[in-house]
Structure 1
Amino acid sequence: MTSAFRFTPLFIAFTATMPLMAQADEQAKAEGFIEGSSLNLHFRNAYFNRNNLNTGVRDNREWGQGFVARFESGYTPGTVGFGLDAHAMLGLKLDGGGGHAGTSILPSHFKNEDELGAAPHSFSTAGAAVKLKAFDTELKAGDLFLTNPVIAGGETRMLPQTFRGVSLTNTSVDGLLLEGGQVSFTKPYNQSGHRRIDTYYGALQDNRDSDHLSWAGASWSGTENITTNLYAAELKDIWNQYYVDFDYTYVVNDLVSLNPGVHFYHTQDTGQALLGDIDNNTFSLHFTVNAGYHSITAAYQRVNGDTPFDYINLGDSVYLDNSRMYSDFNAPNERSWKLQYDYDFAGLGIPGLSSSLSYSRGEADLTKADQNRTYYDYYNPAGKHATHWERDLDVKYVFQEGNLKDLSVLLRYASHRANQAYASEQDNDEIRLIVDYPLNVF
């Protein structure tokens, strides 16, 4: 790390509220560094085929095999326990030459400024994090796997994304997770090396990355049928971002339940404002009816602001209902809705087989969008009635028993179309086939 961890006011305020309710002698009962350790392997075979219909690039396709090994130790006995987490990743190209590269599961290699060449035959990385545990508080420093609404590593490609920095979690209260941390570098899912933190749209600009991202948050699941999250993050010299959600499940009877929920983000520029003025409120609402093996969801999403809803580049920190396989429906001042139907084929005697079918549609007045076209390319003087839609189909099967138990096969299809006023997103058809095989060694 080239920059030392700083205890920002946000992080200090968070750690000061952490309860230490456990007794020291309970920590002395730790399983032990070796006795509490585990080694898990994850094999992922991924095939992506993307047709960008209005750019003339009709056959982007890549196929690869990923290998991830993750070792997690237990803790040494004592009031303060010490441990180590380590991982290694390898990605192999099975197909992706001959001008077909560029789906994002393999590293990008440019022959020249305009022409994308074939990806390398392999790429790899390895990392580790030291960890300390006292009472119910755990501190990790090094390479981290993170998943929360303001910083979530991308998990949808062949290999996962990691971050380099420090994280702190506390679980003293049953049902309550408190966490915070700071990271300065990320290892993207399709690269071997690390780079500084940037945003999805800010990646279009040179020298607009951030020195670090700090976050703190609380996640509550201690009340039956209710979950809620509250998070805050500072991406230095770019934004402060705040998130809250609430999800409730009302059980009508043994077969029927109702599930309303809301997600809300507020993003405001801060410090040097490297990406310009940002004042964005984005929310989504959903209502799901579960009836036996069937599920129907209706969702509404709204972006209030003249900039798009932005998030950490290459990550999955878009906890919004209308974030789909191709589009996030997050343009400036965009309104969108979604209908989704899910079915569990256990109802037909095929446990492990499930499907999801959805249709999403969005509309925005892009004439009101901020004209900062170096940051993003949404402004369109003719875009008063910019519309687009997306259809998504997922079919997944997880083997239930035998030698292939827990192996899963996921087939995903998306079709996206936009009118000319919505020129920033392409007409696109995409197919993904992902085979996952997790294996616990010990």
Structure 2
Amino acid sequence: MRPPFPLITPRQSFGFGAFVLCAGFTAQVQASGFFEDTTAKIESRTVYFNRDFRDGSTSNAQGASKREESAQGFILNLQSGYTEGTVGFGIDALGMLGFQLDSSPNRSNSGLLPSSGNDPRGSKGQYAKMGLTAKVKVSDTVLKYGALLPDLPLLKYNDGRLLPTMFNGAMLTSKELKDLTFMAARLDKYTARDSTDSQDIRVHCKNKRYACNTTADHFDMYGFDYKINDRLTAQYHYAELEDIYRQHFVGLLGNQPLGGGVLKADLRVLKSADSGDAKAGSIDNRALSGMLSYAHSGHTFSAGWQRMNGDNSMPYLDGSNPYLVNYVQVNDFAAAQERSWQLRYDYDFKAIGINGLSFLTRYVNGDHIKVLGSDQEGKEWERDSELKYVIQTGTFKDVSLRLRNATYRTNYEKFARDVDETRLIVSYSFSVL
């Protein structure tokens, strides 16, 4: 299925952006100063990660039976302002450092640290990576080129370990029209969360759903977000990983005051198909998902539903998070033909006078999974809990402590493994400019 807007393909989207930039020359825009609006923040993260696969064997064909490491990370995020004038120029920088605190070869590969070249199953003692981004602004249109952290429906960068995944390419964002945001991008490289090497962009191969290391020359996307009113937003996004897959997304976000609280709805539809030479094989997936939640007096009750239609699982980029309501701590519940549901409860203790403390727990159950090479119906479930506290006063004010726990079980062990997981994250962000 081709994009429904034949006059705006991913490549032509940049032509649209260039038109907007040129049109901006006719307006007298007061840009902020390059130095005056420059900001720099440093985030310190200490992460302990323990994932137990419960099979008791380090010779398992799928790897070690346990992954347990701890590490210290630092992330510098520098964002300049723009030079004065109708066309403003600026530059951003990301700098990241990671240090091993505890590890051993028989429990490495946690995603916190790169693999050691001396021992493939060991981890390096330290690593660093950096990204620079040039940017140009005219009116309410910004074009960036370089290191990017996309947070979009069809590409959400992964930040689930010590350091985030970085993508490289060009991205244009325009808010020239009231209540309408337009974006277009072309990306060609990424640096994984536990790596310093820039790699060709590729499809994710979780549980051997698609051939691993199937790379593409580039990934194109464009999209529109329209705020219909204060309570309703509609979205359409399109993406294509060259010669691998193309994807359409339609979303609807709504909120409505109700009985002293707020009712929220999040509806998502994604359609994926193979593209061009279909280097990852045939792809046929239609993912439907939705979440309803009701918040009142510190309590939030949520219910989610997700269904995979078609012959294959939902594809997404390596180093990214799939935009699905049942994508949780361990699993995405996006296997071929899978049906899943979720129940979730959140509580903000501010409602009883304990500022900074919050809690969540959820349960997700999936079944009807098409298991490769088997007539067996695949089933799986996951239970997560999380407790977070941000210190409010004193020497350690704004330090965040976060404890996450997950239990995952499956009946198709050839492709997926049972998991008991605990993560402890201590983080602190502060401004240096």
Give the TM-score normalised by structure 1: 0.89
1:32-431 to structure 2, matched below 5 A, reads 32-54=33-55, 56=57, 57-109=64-116, 116-201=120-205, 205=211, 208-221=214-227, 223-253=229-259, 255-316=260-321, 318-366=322-370, 378-383=371-376, 385-419=377-411, 421=412, 423-431=414-422
CA distance in 2, matches of 1:408, 1:365: 38
Query: Kindly tell me: are residues 396 and 110 of structure 1, through their superposed partners in 2, closer, same or farther at Cα, counting changes over 3 Å?
Result: same
> 257-266 vs 179-188, which deviates more?
257-266
Output the CA distance in 1 between the equivalents of 2:11 and 2:140.
18
Render the CA deviation track for 1:121-179: whole Å, top value 9, x for unaligned.
00101121111111211111111121111122111111111111111111113432211
Looking at structure 2, the residues matched to 364 and 422 of structure 1 have their Cα atoms a distance apart, in angstroms, of: 15
SS at match of 1:120: coil
Q: Contact conserved, 2:335 with 2:369, CA < 8 A, in 1?
A: no
Q: Does the C-alpha gap of structure 1 residues 358 and 388 become closer, same or farther in structure 2, counting only changes over 3 Å?
A: same
* 1:173-232 deviation per Cα after TM superposition (whole angstroms, max 9, x unaligned): 343221111011001111011001111118874652011101101223462122332111
Please show how residues 22-41 of structure 1 align to structure 2 within 5 Å.
24=26, 26-27=28-29, 29-41=30-42
Q: Distance in 1 between matches of 2:111 and 2:277?
A: 31
Q: Secondary structure at the match of 2:152?
A: coil
Task: Report if aligned partners of 2:10, 2:184 keep a CA contact under 8 Å in 1.
Answer: no
Give the AA of the match of 1:354.
S
- Hey, what's the Cα distance between the residues in 2 that align with 1:44 and 1:26? 43
Residue 247 (structure 1) shift: 1.5
Aligned length: 417
Amino acid at match of 1:432: R
Q: CA, structure 1 residues 319+159, in 2 after alignment: closer, same or farther (shift >3 Å)?
A: same
CA distance in 1, matches of 2:81, 2:267: 37
Tell me the amino acid that sits aligned with residue 16 of structure 1: F
SS at 1:44 equivalent: strand
SS of residue paired to 1:429: strand
Cα 1:387–1:205 change in 2 (3 A) is closer
Q: Indicate the SS of the match to 2:155.
A: coil
Q: Which runs of 5+ in 1 are unaligned?
A: 1-7, 367-377
Deviations 1:301-337 (A, max 9, x none): 0000211112111212x11111111111111000001
User: In the TM superposition, what is the alpha-carbon distance from 1:111 to its structure 2 partner?
Assistant: 6.4
Offset, 1:110: 7.0
- Measure how far apart 1:402 and its partner are: 3.9
Partner-residue secondary structure (3-state), 1:249: strand
Distance in 2, matches of 1:279 and 1:259, equals: 30
Secondary structure in 2 aligned to 1:127?
strand
Root mean square deviation of aligned Cα:
2.2
TM-score after normalising by structure 2: 0.91
Quote the Cα distance in structure 2 between the aligned partners of 1:111 and 1:53: 28
Query: How far does residue 14 in structure 1 lie from its aligned partner after superposition?
Result: 6.5
2:264 and 2:14 map into 1 onto residues whose CA distance is 31
Kindly state the Cα deviation for residue 10 of structure 1 after the two structures are TM-superposed: 2.1
Deviates more, 1:200-209 or 1:93-102: 200-209
Cα distance in 1 for residues equivalent to 2:193 and 2:178 = 34
- Mapped partners of 1:260, 1:48: distance in 2: 33
Question: Is the partner of 1:11 in helix, strand or coil?
Answer: helix
**Could you say what secondary structure the match of 2:172 adopts?**
strand
2:14 and 2:301 map into 1 onto residues whose CA distance is 38
Bigger shift: residues 99-108 or 293-302: 99-108
Taking a change above 3 Å as real, the CA distance of residues 110 and 206 of structure 1, as seen in their structure-2 partners, is: farther
Alpha-carbon separation, structure 1, partners of 2:402 and 2:337: 34
Residues 259 and 108 of structure 1, relative CA distance in 2, 3 Å threshold: same
Inter-partner Cα distance in structure 2 for 1:247 and 1:90:
37
Aligned mates of 1:40, 1:228 — CA distance in 2: 33
Q: 3-state DSSP class of the match of 2:367?
A: strand
Q: Which amino acid is the alignment partner of residue 9 of structure 1?
A: T
Aligned to 2:432: 441
Q: Percent sequence identity over matched residues?
A: 32
Indicate conservation of the 8 Å contact 1:169/1:178, yes or no.
yes
Distance of 2:302 and 2:15 partners within structure 1: 38
Letter of the aligned partner of 1:148 in structure 2?
Answer: L
For residues 233-279 of structure 1, give each alpha carbon's deviation from its aligned partner in whole angstroms, at most 9, with x where no partner exists: 110010111111112111014x3221222111111111110011111
206 and 319 in structure 1: CA distance in 2 versus 1, 3 angstrom threshold: closer
State how far apart, in whole Å, the 2-side matches of 1:306 and 1:392 are.
29
Distance 2:224 2:332 in 1: 25
Aligned to 1:369: none
Query: Could you report, residue by residue, the CA deviation over 1:269-307 in whole angstroms, capped at 9, with x for unpaired residues?
Result: 111100111111001122112221111111110000211
Further displaced range: 194-203 or 225-234: 194-203
**C-alpha spacing 1:294/1:128, structure 2 compared with 1 (3 Å):** same
